[in-house]
Amino acid sequence: MKSTDLHAPAGTTVLRPVTAQERARRAAANAGEPTLEFDGQVPYDAYVRASTLHRLQQPLGDDPGEMSFLMVSQIMELYFKLTCFELRGAQELLRADRVTDALAPLRRAGMHLEGLNGAWRGLRWMTPADFNRFRNLLGEASGLQSAMYRHLEILLGLRNETLIRPFRRQTDVYADLVADLHAPSLWDDVLALLGRQGHPLPADLPRADPTTEHTPYPEVEAAWVRIYADPRPENHLWLLGEALTLIAEEFGDWRYHHLKAVQRAMGAKVGSGGSNGLAWLQRSMARVVFPELWSARTAM
């Protein structure tokens, strides 16, 4: 069946849902062999948009290593988006006090971050000489300019209004970042949930200015100490804490792997985006995701 979908490029095949009975009939007709003839676009391509995806790699030079650098960067962008998608879904569920349901997207987010970290392995080959062969072609392009990474940081509670300034002239991108900056982070929603669950929290939570970064509170730390004193499967807040811990761990690992990749490929040279490179990344790692979830462990 061929038709046009509002969300699909003109002329592409729109997938028609198929039942289990139809699949069984097709398998019987094919004697167990795969279907090899289609009326139009191959269904896999219609769904994944693989042909579109594979046209997005446009290296600037002839060095073969640049393709690895470009594609790994694009893979990371997709993982940023996927993780943000899961975190937003978890936020909606937490706001509705559906803690058990929120665990699934949070655990998936942790696993997506594991995949994100695995992408760094594709750049282990890169020495300074390898990077220097195409680095100048990148101009001022820098991973620090990733809007989707900024969304991820903001959702996790790492808020710095100055870091979204590069996107001011990309009005749609900037508007989305500003909206996230003024909306509750995942950690804000978790703290609001703790308050609704009866844990005494400071009167100034939620923060009057959501664009500022969260300041750790001893009351929040004490709440997590109490929660972890009851590590039963029935204690959904304990399970929530563990799901959040996985996310924070994997995100911290990504920042560490980023630091080591920069160190391996360019040492302490000035960054392409104007920062002092390695030193800037080292300072950024001091900003902790879900701080009281970590500090509470000292008192447990």
Tens digit of each residue's pLDDT (9 = 90 or more) over 154-188: 999 999 888 899 999 999 999 999 999 999 999 99
Whether the per-residue pLDDT at 17 is higher than 60: the answer is: yes
How far apart are the C-alpha atoms of 253 and 259, rounded to whole Å? 10
Q: Model's pTM, two decimal places?
A: 0.91
Percentage helix, strand, coil for the chain under 3-state DSSP, each rounded to 5: 60, 0, 40
> Residues annotated as binding site?
135, 258
**Local confidence band at 2 (pLDDT 50, 70, 90 cut-offs):** very low
Give me the pLDDT at residue 275, please: 65
Comparing 4-8, 25-29, 109-113, 132-136, the range with the smallest average pLDDT is 4-8
Q: Which residue has the higher pLDDT, 14 or 35?
A: 35
**Mean pLDDT of the region 50-62:** 96
Question: Exposed, middle or buried by CB within 10 Å (0-12, 13-18, 19+), for 198?
Answer: exposed
- Residues in the chain, how many? 300
Comparing 211-220, 238-247, 267-276, the range with the smallest average pLDDT is 267-276
Whether the per-residue pLDDT at 93 is higher than 70: the answer is: yes
Give me the pLDDT at residue 35, please: 86
Comparing 26-40, 87-101, 276-290, the range with the smallest average pLDDT is 276-290
User: What average pLDDT is seen over the chain?
Assistant: 90
H or E element at residue 230: none
Give me the pLDDT at residue 4, please: 39
Q: Which residue has the higher pLDDT, 265 or 241?
A: 241
Domains along the sequence of the chain with CATH: 1-55 (no CATH), 67-299 (1.20.58.480)
**Mean pLDDT of the region 219-241:** 95
CB count within 10 Å of CB 5 equals 12
Comparing 125-134, 161-170, 223-232, 267-276, the range with the smallest average pLDDT is 267-276
| Contacting residues for 1 by C-beta, under 8 A, at least 6 apart | 13, 14, 16, 39
Give me the pLDDT at residue 16, please: 85
Whether the per-residue pLDDT at 9 is higher than 60: the answer is: no
> Residues annotated as binding site for heme?
258
